[in-house]
Structure 1
């Protein structure tokens, strides 16, 4: 199973600018955990499928995680993680809040589908440590950031 992220913001002026310099290492390191969801292993008859978390923000009081929406044809499972919208004084405070909420959403999904979430928090904490050391790097979108 490969984990990936999308961002979709449906509410006007309610969004977070999460750069590819944040999402790429997050995706790579979560995929290194080699997790799968047994329910979808059976449904797709393979562990070669995508688990896509759509990141969104909301001013409403919504559930943290919505989904799944499943595409059997494309072997993709979509969940949406709604991050309650807040403003922050610094990029570091904001990105920590975002990352903590995404981690909570992923762990929720793993627990729901009886997948051991061990390692997930460590991936997020490692990324937060890197961001703390060089926040300016993680605020920028990089054109040549390849997999």
Structure 2
């Protein structure tokens, strides 16, 4: 397993619901389409790359520095998304997918991981998910 995706919300009252089906789509497509770079493997060989999404009251977008666990063999990044912007959107997935893609790109750039498939992955997911009641949280 090269990737994992999850959620973590540390600020009281600050959270949003995303269907596990949407998370699974992103996860499966990353697994299928993306190869980790030699640069990543040189530093973190056999480590799973974990993306956690979250939001905070400060309402800004940023990606944390990695937390690395040798015990669990993971490299973990938290993608903080603007909470108010997500809450305002009539379809939460418009904003969520935009910031999830932006956060993943940010991490991939650090390790020179090829991003050619990212546009395709997120375009397909947007077309499948946005406006589709099957993916409501």
Sort the TM-score into its range (normalised by shorter chain).
0.7 to 0.9
Q: Work out the CA distance in 2 between the residues paired with 1:98 and 1:77.
A: 22
Q: Is the 8 A contact 1:4 1:27 kept in 2?
A: yes
The Cα of 1:59 is off from its aligned counterpart by 2.1
**Deviation digits for residues 69-116 of structure 1 (CA, Å, limit 9, x no counterpart):** 1112322100000001122252x2x21101100100000111111112
**Deviation digits for residues 48-68 of structure 1 (CA, Å, limit 9, x no counterpart):** 331101111012155510020
Query: TM-score scaled to structure 2, two decimals?
Result: 0.87
Q: Work out the CA distance in 2 between the residues paired with 1:119 and 1:40.
A: 17
Q: 1:55-134, aligned counterparts within 5 Å? A: 55-60=53-58, 62=60, 64-86=62-84, 87-88=87-88, 90=90, 92=91, 94-132=92-130, 134=132
Name the CA shift for 1:2/1:100 in 2 (closer, same or farther; >3 Å): same
Name the CA shift for 1:42/1:123 in 2 (closer, same or farther; >3 Å): same
Q: Is the 8 A contact 2:101 2:122 kept in 1?
A: yes
Q: Work out the CA distance in 2 between the residues paired with 1:121 and 1:71.
A: 30
Name the CA shift for 1:39/1:74 in 2 (closer, same or farther; >3 Å): farther
Q: Is the 8 A contact 2:37 2:114 kept in 1?
A: no
Q: Is the 8 A contact 1:14 1:59 kept in 2?
A: yes
Equivalent position SS for 2:112: coil
